[in-house]
Amino acid sequence: MNTAMSKVWLITGSARGLGRHIAEAALAAGHRLVATARDTSRLADLQARYGEQMRVAALDVTDAKAAQAAVQLALSAFGRLDVLVNNAGFGHIAPFEQTADEDFRAQIDANFYGVVNLTHAALPTMREQRSGHIINISSVGGRTGTPGLSAYQSAKWAVGGFTEVLAQEVTPLGIKVVSLEPGGMRTGWGDIAGSRLPELLADYQPTVGRLAEMLAAYVGKAAGDPVKVAQVVLGIADHDSPPAHLLLGSDALHYFESAEAVRTNAAAAWRTVSLSTDVDGHDPVPAFPLGEV
């Protein structure tokens, strides 16, 4: 391994699914890695294969102190941190009305505050280095709305907004921040998401029930290949000017474009109402340069 050419990665949720594929791809490419998971026994085979090229850390991403410790492990083992992949997360299907408060909050904590915790921990090092990539694994569900996924998609929308704002703050410091937004992938996500589906109230059967049926039929047939997505992640980590948002998969493009058309049409239809709230005679050009960094 040429350590002069390799980067130091930290990946959350490395034990299975997309996170596992990204970890394997990074190691195979010669990069050094801190692989984190709740259950580190699932990483024993990678540790045995790659030895000193990687470190393993037990991590609950909702624990801010544990996030700091994971970053410190990367620094003590490898001396720097070049790539943070915020991948850990989960979703459960249920109507919002039938989602327990603790389950809703748990999904927000893991899918959004996990990203916040790791990013908070990594930024001081990347800012000092004047370099780094923060890659947030979001979802096309962070650009669309789907009945039955209120907690999961609320968190993913938050990740997208957080990514845009943070990118504007830190791009001048040499740090790149990206939200990757895949569609369905063959990772088993649908099995887990549907594992706690409650007995639906009849009123939600045509919406949430239909989604659950579609996902059950979709298992093993998703368009997205996680091996190919992992290779995209490697490419993004070497890119000097990646986009703030990157949709991945034909289904992601389809669902996003459909949702965006609805939003664009609604904005046009209600444009007169939108403009009617300005102070009379006010210059309609925004005074603050939003999104211009």
Residues labelled as active-site residues:
138, 152, 156
| CB-based burial, 74-106: b 16+ in 10 Å, e otherwise | beeebeebbbbbbbbbbbbbbbeeebeeeebee
Rounded to a whole number, what is the distance in angstroms from the first to the last CA of the chain? 38
Eight-class DSSP state of 41: G
CA nearest to 86, candidates 136, 153, 140, 39: 136
How many angstroms separate the CA atoms of 112 and 106, rounded? 10
CA nearest to 92, candidates 193, 200, 227, 177: 193
**Half-sphere exposure (Cβ direction) of 3: Cα atoms closer than 13 Å:** 10
